[in-house]
Chain A
């Protein structure tokens, strides 16, 4: 664990193949891996292809989990690409009869002491191949610093922390017990996001999944251990209609943390925590209607539970049915 490897091939036509231990599951990790390779080599993204995750190319992988996939694999990939870049610069330096430190590659052009040489990335790769330079590299990364002693339950188990804050407004229909998350305002610590579109997607998805866990998603087992919520008609997850009407995400202005890939912090799991606010918001709304409501903490706060909490007496529920019929068209939170 806490380690990753990457395998990079530069093909003789200048195109690049990247294999890592990262598994793409919709979170956009392959996009981030592509960005790492394209940024280190300073080539067009189209030159880079992400290969499948395969145990014969990258062995002994850590699972893609714990929000650490982009960090670990990205750092390993960065190391492999940097090593290859050094080799290419050395090759170019020999060709131009200068020190390797005088060579740089910017936007697919080879520069000598800051001046364009006219040599292109493809020519450089072709020359290196003919010079029999190895154009394949393996990168390995292990997170430094972290340690934990289970004997005393103390240590420094984490490379860094991610922080965030959400302000959530929920409206509860106190006739029906239904509710809607009206607005979520977030300030999130991305560090220096390397891909704001992908990261925003993770925040929005995590938020909604967290709200689902706290509100409508109810796993139920019978006392004899049989799953009673085992179908999509008995287990409801948030759909487009239950997504908050307004989601504002403000990135925190921060220098970021070097333990994260390009200072771009882990973003997979943290936003789920924003959803916790939905439970407590509903609770506040219920208390505004029924001041006698004794706070209970028993998530999820399903509409059924909300209704029973608003009207603790069954007699009230009969009244409710009458009121509900007459107010049918007037309430629309």
Chain B
């Protein structure tokens, strides 16, 4: 069956947040954010911005009737910065005006004085200074320390993977409409309607039943709207509730890219030990997760990295430790794979390293160590319904890794300036665990 939205998408009739007909009297919100990554706010002068015709009001932390807190797992993230700023792009105030254009003009008229503080962007530096979001966690299976002496080959190295911008086509946004009796309806571009509802209730100091959240569809999310769609919905509700007028916030692309977190960059140290015939005997890995300035979903992402640290392989002796490191970047967040890919990159790097040093194709090492039925994952679960062996056979039968490899080698021998590379990318990915929130 075709996607039921295909007609609407192709004809442009599908309704996204910005397509909702605007109610008369609607105001537009624009976020004023921290111009630098770390410091304390000495003074902010809003007077010139407030005096601009068409500016209705500027909301700051002082205007919050409930709690100035949006942290889901750990309460460590204010809606509007108070006192200190911890990342460039951190919201400080919401300018509400008769048009977006006026709000943008007003933003340029705000004077802010900040005393700068030292900035940390590297997770290893943060870890060394004790800047952790939560205490480190370690998954263990067997005893790697006792194995190294028995290994014919031991390789150590470092694997870094960078962040990733979600770049959903529809930027973050929300449209809040005041209803009767203090009820507020929020149209939100969120993956988590309940998170928006719960957080709006907390910040506005009202019961959850006063807040209704409605979502038609998103123009992409990729995890970027799981937790980080919340602040805009809450800000719009705050302003709509106090001004008794509908308030819409739709982030400009540049504001979105600057203010929101991304996939977590990871820096990892690995140590892998193998037998002469290429069986992995032991694996040690330490993950330094760059969490950014607040917890957001980082603890759950970090856990997911540990779950996937051995990818689709069985390794009898494993120690995997992860640090969630607090830095002065926007809080990094969920992104398709949720920490899993970062864990897999480290083991794949270790295998590539081993294959190179041992002078054998990586795919032979991969195949030799594939997960089998009844094997134990480092987190204690016994593997059932394992399909990776059958998948490998199917791929070999249909596409022949060996033949392709030979063709690539022949091509590389014949061509001096264009070179080909051929790797296999197996995975085991696990489902149904959402512990966060």
What's the minimum C-beta distance from B288 to chain A, rounded to whole angstroms?
Answer: 14
If A157-B433, A225-B87, A297-B157 touch, whether A65 touches B424 (CB-CB below 8 Å) is no
Q: B383 within 8 Å of A by Cβ?
A: yes
Within 8 A of B (CB), among A158-192: 158-175, 182, 185, 187-189
Q: A8 within 8 Å of B by Cβ?
A: no
Are the CB atoms of A269 and B4 closer together than 8 Å? no
Of B92-100, B236-244, B347-355, the one touching chain A = B347-355
A153 to B257, CA, bound (A): 36
Q: A319 within 8 Å of B by Cβ?
A: no
Are the CB atoms of A53 and B192 closer together than 8 Å? no
Q: A97 within 8 Å of B by Cβ?
A: no
Q: A288 within 8 Å of B by Cβ?
A: yes
Q: Which residues of B contact A55 (CB under 8 A)?
A: 193-194, 197, 211-214
Are the CB atoms of B428 and A162 closer together than 8 Å? yes
Q: B158 within 8 Å of A by Cβ?
A: yes
Are the CB atoms of B432 and A71 closer together than 8 Å? yes
Q: B88 within 8 Å of A by Cβ?
A: yes
Q: Which residues of B contact A185 (CB under 8 A)?
A: 395, 398-399
B36: which of A63, A197, A224, A269 is its contact (CB, 8 Å)? A224
Are the CB atoms of B425 and A225 closer together than 8 Å? no
A285 to B195, CA, bound (A): 46
A260 to B430, CA, bound (A): 12
Q: Which residues of B contact A153 (CB under 8 A)?
A: 137-140, 306, 379-380
Residue of A nearest to B431 (CB): A266
Q: A100 within 8 Å of B by Cβ?
A: no
If A53-B214, A276-B344, A283-B421 touch, whether A225 touches B4 (CB-CB below 8 Å) is no
Interface size class on chain A is: 35 or more
Of A30-38, A87-95, A103-111, A122-130, the one touching chain B = A30-38
Of A77-85, A131-139, A250-258, the one touching chain B = A250-258
Question: Number of B residues whose C-beta is below 8 Å from A?
Answer: 120
Q: B408 within 8 Å of A by Cβ?
A: yes
Q: Which residues of B contact A217 (CB under 8 A)?
A: 162, 164-165
What's the minimum C-beta distance from A149 to chain B, rounded to whole angstroms?
Answer: 8
A128 to B236, CA, bound (A): 44
A280: which of B162, B192, B352 is its contact (CB, 8 Å)? B352
Q: B3 within 8 Å of A by Cβ?
A: yes
Q: B69 within 8 Å of A by Cβ?
A: no
Interface string of B350-391 (1 = CB under 8 A from A): 001100100000100000000000000001111111111011
Are the CB atoms of B425 and A274 closer together than 8 Å? yes
Interface string of B181-207 (1 = CB under 8 A from A): 000000000111111010000000000
B417: which of A143, A158, A175 is its contact (CB, 8 Å)? A175
Residue of B nearest to A164 (CB): B427
Are the CB atoms of B215 and A158 closer together than 8 Å? no
Interface string of A279-293 (1 = CB under 8 A from B): 111111111110000
Are the CB atoms of A212 and B432 closer together than 8 Å? no
Are the CB atoms of B424 and A167 closer together than 8 Å? yes
Of A9-17, A21-29, A112-120, the one touching chain B = A21-29
- B residues near A (Cβ < 8 Å) are 1-5, 36-38, 87-89, 119, 121, 137-140, 157-165, 167-168, 190-195, 197, 211-223, 225-227, 253-254, 257-258, 262-263, 265, 306-307, 312, 328-329, 334, 336-338, 340-341, 344-345, 348-349, 352-353, 356, 362, 379-388, 390-392, 394-395, 398-399, 401, 404, 408, 412, 416-437
User: Which 7 A-B pairs have CB atoms at the shortest separation, nearest pair first?
Assistant: A225-B37, A277-B425, A284-B421, A154-B380, A63-B192, A285-B421, A159-B432
> Can you list 25 A-B contacts with CB-CB less than 8 angstroms, sorted by A residue number?
A23-B192, A25-B191, A28-B3, A53-B214, A63-B192, A64-B226, A71-B432, A72-B432, A150-B137, A157-B307, A160-B431, A164-B427, A170-B421, A174-B419, A213-B161, A223-B119, A225-B87, A226-B88, A230-B258, A272-B341, A277-B424, A280-B425, A285-B419, A288-B412, A299-B345
